[in-house]
Amino acid sequence: MSTRTLWYAVNKELVKKQVPVPTLDAGEVLVKVKAIAFNPTDYKHLDFGIAQNSGLGCDFSGDIAEVGSGVSLVKVGDSVSGMISGGNDERPERGSFTDFVKVHETQVFKFNSLKIDGSKEIPAGAPTTYEQAASLGACLATTAFAYESYNRWDTSKKNSQSGYALIYGGVSSLGFMAGQVAKYLGFNVIAVASSKHKDLLKLVGITHVVDYHDEDWVEQARKIGGDDIVYAYDTISFADTLSLVCKAVSTTKPVKINVSLPGTPEPENLGKNITIDAPLTYLMSDPYKIFGPRRIEGEPHFMKDAPTNIAHANKLLAEGVITALPVTVVGEGIDAIPAGINAIRKGVSGEKVVITL
């Protein structure tokens, strides 16, 4: 086992390469990948040329095949999943679209044991399969990062928050995680999502659902939350979605809003009580992230906090707090990567796209 397959983005083309199986530094583990999940960021890195010559992909699940020196949190044979920040031209051999991933032991989500489900459609549920575990990578890591490193909430502390949290894009992969963790933290959660997703949201105890197709969704949300919507996550992050989210939140209390895309224009005349941040998960593992001409700097505490953020997410997983979205399996084998990219590029609705290896 000296080489592995890794799918690269090279000048907006997906290219399959054979590269060396990575050697491990202290604290790192090698994961034999069993499933890979796809995120919008993957096709954006490819199609928009954000990654010009680097391995793509963030989400994976699998079994630990080898451990580096000093590893103490996991052992060979353990089932894990996680997010690595693929599409980085300065670290071209990092992407998760591969059969062996190298990752730091503090960056993985841990599971008692996982199995391959093997079905094409896996319903929402507690993550017990490689397919479901892979689907948690970026969305759970981003939630942990946003809540801990930006909002400064300790996500291991149940019922430590109060008031209403509005999750715009309630069943986007990010919104589904953000809503569940907000609920655990004690917020009353209002999900803004298509009405067809009501049952899915009910499964995780979110019963306040407002349909973003309704012209008066802001009024509906305020009718539920009154002037007590003190947190919002706009997981869609268009100028118009953020503008409406800002109208839904409290006008008198301090409000935090997270957006999923850095650079989302803030509305004019933003209430002085509102703070908007754009947590970017890549900054958990890198001091900065390059997006074409833009360089987004992290704060020094982001990488330092990362092990705690992931440890707290692991506590939630161990307590059974986290339900995975329905999974659609679009292919099997490492040659199915293009099928996964095509599926996520087309867009999803309350599901994660995954392939199995």
Binding-site member from 40, 163, 271, 338 for ligand NAP (CB under 6 A): 40
Smallest separation, CB 79 to ligand NAP (Å): 23
* Identity of the residue, 173 or 323, whose beta carbon is nearer to ligand NAP in the bound complex: 173
Smallest separation, CB 170 to ligand NAP (Å): 8
Smallest separation, CB 348 to ligand NAP (Å): 5
- Structure tokens belonging to residue 347: 């867009």
Buried b (16+ CB within 10 A) or exposed e, 72-93: ebbeeebbbbbbbbbbbeeebb
Q: Is residue 276 within the footprint of ligand NAP (CB under 6 A)?
A: no
Q: Is residue 51 within the footprint of ligand NAP (CB under 6 A)?
A: no
Q: Is residue 280 within the footprint of ligand NAP (CB under 6 A)?
A: yes
Q: Is residue 241 within the footprint of ligand NAP (CB under 6 A)?
A: yes
Residues 22, 99 contacting (CB under 8 angstroms): no
Strand order in the sheet with 13-20: 13-20, 3-10, 53-55
Phi, psi for 26 (deg, rounded to 5): -55, 135
Q: How far apart are CA 309 and CA 2, in angstroms?
A: 33
Interface mask (CB under 6 A) for ligand NAP, residues 77-116, using x and -? ----------------------------------------
- Structure tokens belonging to residue 288: 């900065």
Binding-site member from 138, 204, 218, 334 for ligand NAP (CB under 6 A): 138
Binding-site member from 235, 309, 314, 356 for ligand NAP (CB under 6 A): 235
Q: Is residue 167 within the footprint of ligand NAP (CB under 6 A)?
A: no
* Identity of the residue, 54 or 99, whose beta carbon is nearer to ligand NAP in the bound complex: 54
Binding-site member from 173, 180, 188, 314 for ligand NAP (CB under 6 A): 173
Smallest separation, CB 76 to ligand NAP (Å): 30
Which residues 213-232 are close enough to bind ligand NAP by CB under 6 A?
A: none
For 254, counting Cβ atoms within 10 Å of its Cβ (0-12 exposed, 13-18 middle, 19+ buried), the class is exposed
Place of tokens 């979605």: 241
Q: Is residue 285 within the footprint of ligand NAP (CB under 6 A)?
A: no
Among the listed ranges 147-155, 310-318, 334-342, 346-354, the one in contact with ligand NAP (CB under 6 A) is 346-354
- Structure tokens belonging to residue 275: 């703070």
Residues 133, 140 contacting (CB under 8 angstroms): no
Site residues (vs ligand NAP, CB under 6 A) = 39-41, 138-139, 142, 169, 171-174, 194, 212, 235-236, 241, 260-261, 279-281, 348-350
